[in-house]
Chains A and B, each alone.
Chain A
Amino acid sequence: MIGIHDMGGMHHLGPVETDDNAMFHADWEGRVFGLQMIGAAVGDWPADEYRYIIERMPPADYLNAAYFVQWLQALEQLFISRGVIGADELRERQTAVANGAALPDVGPPDPLVVDQLITTMRDLAYHGGLPEHPELPRRYHIGDRVVAVSRAVPNHTRAPQYIWGRPGTVVSHSGVFSLPEAVAHRLPDRPEPVYGVRFEATDLWGEGAEPGTSVVLDLWESYMAPLASSTSRAPS
Chain B
Amino acid sequence: MGSNHGHHPGDLSEGEVRARALESLLREKGVIQGDVVDEIVAVYSSDIGPLNGARAVAKAWTDPEFHDRLLAHATDALAEIGIGGLQGEYMVAVQNTESVHHVVVCTLCSCYPWPVLGLPPAWYKDAPYRSRVVREPRAVLAEFGTHLEPGVEVQVWDSNSEIRYLVIPRRPDGSENLTEDELAALVTRDSMIGVTVLPAVGAAVGAA
B154 close to A213 (CB less than 8 A) = yes
Count the A-B residue pairs with Cβ separation under 8 angstroms: how many?
Answer: 307
- The closest CB in chain A to the CB of B106 belongs to A8
Taking the complex as formed, is B132 at the interface, i.e. its CB lies under 8 A from any CB of chain A? yes
Chain B contributes a number of interface residues (CB within 8 A of A) equal to: 94
Q: Which of B34, B84, B138 contacts A109 (CB 8 A)?
A: B34
Question: Contact residue range for chain A?
Answer: 35 or more
Apart from A38-B26, A214-B155, what are 10 other A-B pairs with CB-CB below 8 Å? Answer: A68-B19, A84-B26, A89-B25, A94-B17, A122-B43, A125-B85, A128-B86, A130-B89, A130-B162, A204-B134
CB proximity to B under 8 Å, residues A88-124: 89-90, 93-94, 96-106, 109-111, 113-114, 117-118, 121-122, 124
Residues of B within 8 A of A111 (CB): 34
Q: Which of A1-47 contact B (CB under 8 A)?
A: 5-11, 13-26, 28-35, 37-38, 40, 42, 47
CB–CB A213/B153 < 8 A: yes
Counting CB contacts under 8 A, is A152 at the interface?
no
Say yes or no: is A146 at the interface (Cβ < 8 Å to chain B).
Answer: no
Task: Specify which of B1, B3, B15, B154 is in contact with A210 (CB 8 Å cutoff).
Answer: B154
Residue of A nearest to B153 (CB): A212
Q: A28-B16, A35-B22 are in contact. Are A5 and B156 (CB under 8 A)?
A: no
Interface residues of B in 4-26 (CB under 8 A from A): 4-5, 7-10, 12-26
* In the bound complex, CA of A15 to CA of B199 (Å): 25
- Evaluate whether A8 and B131 lie within 8 angstroms (CB atoms) in the complex, with A104-B28, A126-B84 already known: yes
